[in-house]
Structure 1
Amino acid sequence: MLTKNRTGMAGGFIIAILGALLFSTKAIFVKLAFQHTQVSAIHLLVLRMLFSLPFYLVAGIYARSNSSQKLTGKQWIVLAVMGIFGYYLSSLFDFIGLQFVSAGLERLILFLYPTFTVLINTFYFKTKLKTTQLAALILTYIGIGIAFWGEIKLDAGNAHFYLGIFMIFLCAITYSIYLAGTGKLVPIIGATRYTAYVMLFATLGVFTHFLITDHQNITLLLQPGLLVYGVTLAMVATVLPSFLLNTGMNKVGSNNVAIITSIGPVSTIIQAHFFLHEPIFFLQLAGTALVIVGIFLIGWKPSTT
C-alpha cells in the first residue's frame, strides 16, 4: 500500500510539472500574437476560449454521463465563481499586463500566487502548513525575488510598466482564489467534470465581456495569423495543462501543486530568450536555480509532505 501511495504521489508530481510547463508557454504565444497581429487582449482571450470550448463541452458531457452524483445549487454557484476568477478575470488581467511587460517578468510576478494560495488554505480552510512546504516556499520566493530585481532594472523605462505589473498582480490574486477553491472541490466533484464545468463558466464570462464591450470589431478575430495563435493557445496552453494540473492537484493537493508550478518562471524565461529574444542575465539564473531547488524539495519525500 505504501509503495502504491508513493507511486501515485510521484505520478501526481510529474503530471503537475508537465501541466505547469505547458501553461508557461501561454505568455510566449500571447507576446508573439501582440507582436505579429492587430489584436487586443479581449480578442485574443475570446479566440483562446472559443477553440477550447468543444473540448470542454465533450469532457463535461462525458463526465456527467459517467457520474451518478448530482451537484447542489451551492456547488453550481461555487463552480461559476471559480470559472470567473480562474480563467476569465485572471486571464484578462494577465493578457492586458503582457502588453506592457516582458514574458519573463510576467511569469515572475504571476508566481506570487502560490503564496496567496497557501495563505488562503492555511487561514481560511485551516489547512496545516507543513515544514517542507514552508521551506520550499521560502526558497522559491527568494529565487523569484532575485530574478525580479534583475528584470525590473531592464523594463522600468516603459511608460506603462507599472500598469502591467499591477494587472498581473491582480491576475495572481484572482488565480490564487481559484487554485485554493479547486483543491477543495476537485476531490468532491472529480477532476474532469470540475475542469470542464469551470472552463465553460469562464468561457461564458469571456464571451459576455466581448459582446458587451467590443462586438463591433468581431471581424478582427478572422485574421489568419491570429487564428493560428488562438488555436495554439487553446490546445497547448489551455486545454491540456488545465486537465493535467487539476488531475495532479487531486493526487498531491493544491499546496504542493502551487509550489511545484514555480517551475513556470524558469520555463518561460528560457522560452522568452529563444522565441522573443528577451535577455537572460545572472540574477535570472541565480533566482531560477533557487526555484528549482524548492521544487525538488517539495517532491523529495512525498510520504512526509
Structure 2
Amino acid sequence: MDVLSDTMAALRTGRPYSAFAERRGRWRTDIGPYAGAGFHIVLRGTCRLIPREGGGPVELAAGDAVFLPHGTAHALAGESPAPTVLLCGAFRLDRSRAHPMLGDFPEVIHLPARPGRNSALNATITLFGDELQAPGPGTDAALPALLELLLVYLMRAWYEERTARRTTTGWCGALADPAVGAALRALHAEPSKPWTVAGLAARAGLSRAAFARRFTALVGRPPLTYLTWWRLTLAARILRESDAPLAAVAQRIGYTSQFAFAHAFKRAYGISAGRYRQERHDDHEHLGAWEMTTITAGPAAL
C-alpha cells in the first residue's frame, strides 16, 4: 500500500480550484488564511510571495512553484512592465483531524525550477498551463485530473528533497524506515484487520518493545493509537464520499458493531457520524472566502 497516496486521499475533501492570471506593472494581492492548501506557479515572468507572519519574501521566477500546505495568509506582488503569468489554486483539506504528516510541512515550500529536477511536476505544470490558456474539448475533465496530479507531485517533490538531505525525523523518517514503514503499509493495506502490537512488530522484524518505541518516536503516537486514528479518518472519508450505511462503514474499518463505531466516531469528532456526513455534504455547496477572492475572481483578483 502506498501510504503517502492513501494519506493524501483521506485528507482531501471537496473540489480543488484553479485559476489562470496575468498581471503587469506594479501590483499586489493579499490572500487571507485558507482551511486547506494553496499553491502558486509562475508560468512566465517574476514575482514575490510575502508571508503574512514570519519569514522573508520568496522570490519566484518562471517555472517556480510555491506550496502552502497550511493555507497560510500571504501576499503576491510584482513590479515589471513585462507580464507575469500565474497558475493559482487550492485544495480543500479536512483539518478536523489533521494527519501528523502535515506537521512536518513548513508554512511555505518553495520548489524552484531546476533542470533535471522534479520532471513529473514540471510536465504537469506545462500541461495545466496549456489547458488553461487554450481550453479545448475535454478540458473540463482534464483540469480536475491535472489538479490531483499536481498535489501528488508537489508533495512528492518535497518528500524527495527531504529524503535526499537524509532527513530522518517525522513522517519522512517513518516512511523511509524499513521497520516502521513496513508496519504503516500493513495498517493502511488492511485497516480492518484485528492488529496487535506483537503482530505489527513481527511484520517489522523487531521485538514488541523495540518496535513500539521506534514507531512512537517516528510517527508521534503508539501503533494502536495510530490505528484507531487512521480507522476513524478513513471512516470520515467514506462518509464524505459515499452514502454507505453506517453499519457497512463500521465493518469496513474494523469495528465489530455499528454502536461501537458510532461511539468512537462521536468521541473523536464531537458529532455523530450521520451529522458529520450531512454537514460535509452541505459544505461542498459553498465556496470559502479564499476560493471566492482568489479563484472565482480569476485574473482580476491578481
TM-score (norm 2): 0.24
Structure with the bigger percentage of strand: 2
**Bigger radius of gyration, 1 or 2?**
2
TM-score (norm 1): 0.23
Structure with the bigger percentage of helix: 1
